Structures are given as structure tokens and as C-alpha cells.
Amino acid sequence: MDQVTQHNNQQAQRQAAMAVLAHAEAGEIAARLRDFVLPAHQDLRAPENGLVMLRGRVGGDGAPFNLGEATVSRAAVRLASGEVGFGYTLGRDGEKARLIALCDALVQSRDFGAAVERDVIAPLREQLMTARKQAAAETAATKVDFYTMVRGEG
């Protein structure tokens, strides 16, 4: 496999992991990581809170406009082996941002990547999918079909 393909696969794996971790609760991530013997790591960027501007478009193709601001937390972690992970999450949960950054760094590691995917990301993904299916089923149960009756007149 050439380097470009390998890099693209790693990026796709990291994006998929971040999508799951961003929707998980901090306590769930921490509970999954408790069973791990974590490698030495340091905070490159301590968890911090800030604001990001949310932008929108009218009709999806109109000119962009500033919709408002949202609070986010971010962190960066480096493993002793050199992998750097970044974590961002909506809200003011700095510990969750740090845990996401740690998982991001671990996913990139040759020694820990497969184990983190198997023992942390996959179970959280399954929980997320189950919750989404349940919410969809509850929503579908309230669906109302409207129709128009046509009268037989002229």
C-alpha cells in the first residue's frame, strides 16, 4: 500500500473515531479507558474553553452569514512515542476534550490503535447506533400520514 493510501486510511479511521467520541459522554470514555494500561503522555494544550462562530447559508446555496457563537472545549495530548492527538467538543467539558485527544493519539499508535478501536471506539459506536435506532423508532411511532380525498364531482 502506498503512503498516500495509508495516510488517507488513517485519516478516515481518525475521523470515524472522532465522530463517535464527540457524541459519547465523558464518563463512558473514561470508563472504557480505565481497563487500559495507558502509555506515558503529556498535555500539549491543557483543556480550554472558547467560542467558535457558526455560519449558515439561506437555502443551502445563498451567501454565508454568521448565525451565532457556540462554546467549545479543546485539548492536545502527545504520547511518549510521539503521536499527537487533538480533541474538540461542544460545551465546556474540558475533561472530555482531553479524553478525546488521548484517544486520538492512541488510535494513531501502532501499539494501541487496534486495542482502542476494539475496546473503546467500537462499543461506544454500538451504543450510539442503538440509541439512534431507538430514537428513530420512537419518532416513527408518532408519524401521521395525511392524504386528500377526491370527491366524485365533475
- The residue assigned the cell 482502542 is 116
For the chain, 154 residues long, the average pLDDT of each consecutive 10-residue run is: 81 91 94 89 94 88 90 96 94 95 93 91 94 91 76 66
> Do 100 and 87 form a contact (C-beta atoms < 8 A)?
yes
Q: What is the pLDDT of residue 2?
A: 81
DSSP string, 41-71: EEEEEEEEEEEEEEEEEGGGTS-EEEEEEEE
Residue 28 CB neighbours (<10 A): 17
Predicted local distance difference test score (pLDDT) of residue 80: 93
pLDDT attached to residue 76: 96
Residue with cell 471506539: 121
Q: Determine the pLDDT at residue 41.
A: 92
Q: What is the phi/psi pair of residue 121, to 5°?
A: -70, -50
Per domain, the residue ranges of the chain are 3-121
Q: What are phi and psi of 111, to 5 degrees?
A: -80, -30
